Structure 1
């Protein structure tokens, strides 16, 4: 097969698998003969990509988990290195996952393979100096947040805001009752989402705390139903094992997390892509997260002062709200005008959604926020208005061009 018909793609985590699968579906709906091969997950495989490795073999979080997958990571990296040097691919499309992908971009450059990066590394959050490497190694950056396009263009990188995958099919207004009915839930019953993450290690850390918070909440609202989106069938065992230790009514659902959160009145969400899903679903929530002790010590005492911006936040909703606020508008202004203020526990600045990190991520504090969301109608309505604002801001650019359009235009010109 001609190299002009082959794309090499690298998505090293669940969120990348989700976004890239939509991209591959778009490409194949227009040009079904285009071959896409690389590293990804079940969603990419279902979309038609040939998997060289599954992302679960290489994806880690924290030092202790990473040590156990070193051999897999080296093997997968070697596979991608050979593919880039094979001469079979006309384009390399890395998807987020910067620690490996930026290195692979350097190999692609040396091999003469153009690089169109889809979903920017969060250089606006930490290690901003990576923009220099990206400018040297990437031919084009396709961003899913509007403020990233400006950031890259100012650094001399050709960049396009292409819209966010998650908002493409979302309605302008979320109908929570209809969403509940669609999942077979009682529309009038108070429903709370527990979203403990997509990795075993973070589920083991976060789900027990969430269950304890749920037990506290049940003391005030005993008719509450708790729902949990299962990130993958491989996680069913560990989730059931943990839930069996708590007398909390939790239904496990295989529905997409965003669908389940649209049907939930409020929730607790582990930091990551799910925080954006919660915002776009219009669900009032608190973002919670905790690392293992050693990783947190190194990250907070050594790495953060060196590589992270002082006003970085883990909830994407807060990142979007703060960037909108720079223009004198946005969700935080809505919050303040309604008489509400949610402060960052570290820097004291106003946020749009609460963040409970490490020692702050206690069952008592989680339960406090759930109770606040349940009892404060004004706060809940203000958050829903702000989330609607975010949905509009993440729709595709004025040109309406998608990542698939840009990639296929390049291939056609080869």
Structure 2
């Protein structure tokens, strides 16, 4: 039986997750076709890309307002196409502001809808769960604690595990990663991940580079690895980095690892490093799965903070933690330095303490291994089966 699904993934992480789930779907239903919005990973799996994923990539409310006309045109285009010729099922991956509105309209027209990666209602704006109930036929969640949240609200839910936990090895190979990157196996290496969006790099890169400069003064033998999601972000970062004195800084893009296009360059940087300085987000989970100690940081400009507080009616998240590894552990396993705490001085102290404390490194790695086992569930197969069950009316 041939199935046609509509699919929207709006960011690099969603593109990677979507590609793995689409591969799982094709193993169970070889004649399946997918069309919609995605990136290079989904395209490589044979998806018909109507719009590239960067059409949806925004950073916060200010960026969303600037790009609102493009977002509305893209939303209207895919909605009209699918209302005119309905797919057998719609799969929205993350991008909740875009996807949930689309899912609500398609579900109302009779198309089953599945949403993969639940919005972080456990941290911000819990009331969104009522719109989720209206919009989705089933939600697939990637963290174990989320399942009970949706069950309590009567929303069909499946915990599928996190696809990154299936892709990242339980035991990282530091030596192999350093050989691929042509690094000294005995050197001390710090990975710096300031985010994948232009606005994140603009705000976080100067703070992270100032931190690296201070660390370099403590130990001139340190090597700094900075993976960039594409060449545009690399050029943006390089322009900022020229203001700093860091001779051992290496900025990496996918082209630095020829023949390994399926593996994100950030993974090699994380596997090769001793400690990481990471912007809050999915990268913190990747760092944890590579069992690396990290300092989690983030900074939002004042206007964006005020807009978030206004829209959410919250001054801070519901939880005590921001970083995903700490949320999963329900403890401050690794430091979080956010907003006014995210100064180069404090970041330097936090990174240095982790770098020189081998006992702490081992304790963190043990905690992260427990998290990895919890999240490792053969996500692609479980998610694919749940999606096909919805498509077939089960």
TM-score, reference length from structure 2: 0.91
Q: Is the contact made by 1:27 and 1:404 (CA closer than 8 Å) also made in structure 2?
A: yes
| CA-CA distance at 1:30 after TM superposition | 3.8
In structure 2, how many angstroms separate the alpha carbons of the residues matched to 1:34 and 1:393?
30
In structure 2, the partner of 1:388 is 369
Change (3 A) 1:304 1:131: closer
In structure 2, the partner of 1:114 is 112
Asked if residue 406 in structure 1 is aligned to residue 381 in structure 2, the reply is no
| CA-CA distance at 1:95 after TM superposition | 0.9
| CA-CA distance at 1:234 after TM superposition | 2.6
Q: Is the contact made by 1:116 and 1:140 (CA closer than 8 Å) also made in structure 2?
A: yes
Q: Is the contact made by 1:96 and 1:120 (CA closer than 8 Å) also made in structure 2?
A: yes
1:23 corresponds to which of 13, 21, 24: 21
In structure 2, how many angstroms separate the alpha carbons of the residues matched to 1:244 and 1:67?
31
Question: Structure 1, unaligned stretches of length 5 or more?
Answer: 323-331, 333-350
Q: Could you say what secondary structure the match of 2:167 adopts?
A: coil
Change (3 A) 1:115 1:273: same
Question: Structure 2, unaligned stretches of length 5 or more?
Answer: 255-263
| 91-100 vs 54-63, which moves further | 54-63
Alignment of 1:236-275 (within 5 A): 236-248=234-246, 249-255=248-254, 256=264, 257-275=266-284
Count of equivalent residues: 383
In structure 2, the partner of 1:73 is 71
In the TM superposition, what whole-angstrom CA distance separates every residue of 1:253-283 from its partner, at most 9, and x where no partner exists?
2352123211110011011111111111111
Q: Once superposed, what is the RMSD of the aligned Cα atoms?
A: 2.1
Q: Is the contact made by 2:137 and 2:156 (CA closer than 8 Å) also made in structure 1?
A: yes
In structure 1, the partner of 2:360 is 379
1:317 corresponds to which of 307, 311, 325: 325
Alignment of 1:290-305 (within 5 A): 290-300=299-309, 302-303=310-311, 305=313
Q: Is the contact made by 1:40 and 1:51 (CA closer than 8 Å) also made in structure 2?
A: yes
In structure 1, the partner of 2:258 is none
| CA-CA distance at 1:115 after TM superposition | 0.7
Change (3 A) 1:281 1:73: same
In structure 2, how many angstroms separate the alpha carbons of the residues matched to 1:185 and 1:405?
42
In structure 2, the partner of 1:157 is 155
In structure 1, how many angstroms separate the alpha carbons of the residues matched to 2:111 and 2:206?
46
| CA-CA distance at 1:82 after TM superposition | 0.7
Alignment of 1:119-158 (within 5 A): 119-158=117-156
Q: Could you say what secondary structure the match of 2:195 adopts?
A: coil
In the TM superposition, what whole-angstrom CA distance separates every residue of 1:208-246 from its partner, at most 9, and x where no partner exists?
111110111111111000001111223121122112221
In structure 1, how many angstroms separate the alpha carbons of the residues matched to 2:46 and 2:316?
37
In structure 1, how many angstroms separate the alpha carbons of the residues matched to 2:198 and 2:24?
31
In structure 2, how many angstroms separate the alpha carbons of the residues matched to 1:291 and 1:88?
40
Q: Could you say what secondary structure the match of 1:186 adopts?
A: coil
TM-score, reference length from structure 1: 0.87
Larger relative contact order, structure 1 or 2 (CA cutoff 8 Å, min sep 6): 2
| CA-CA distance at 1:168 after TM superposition | 0.7
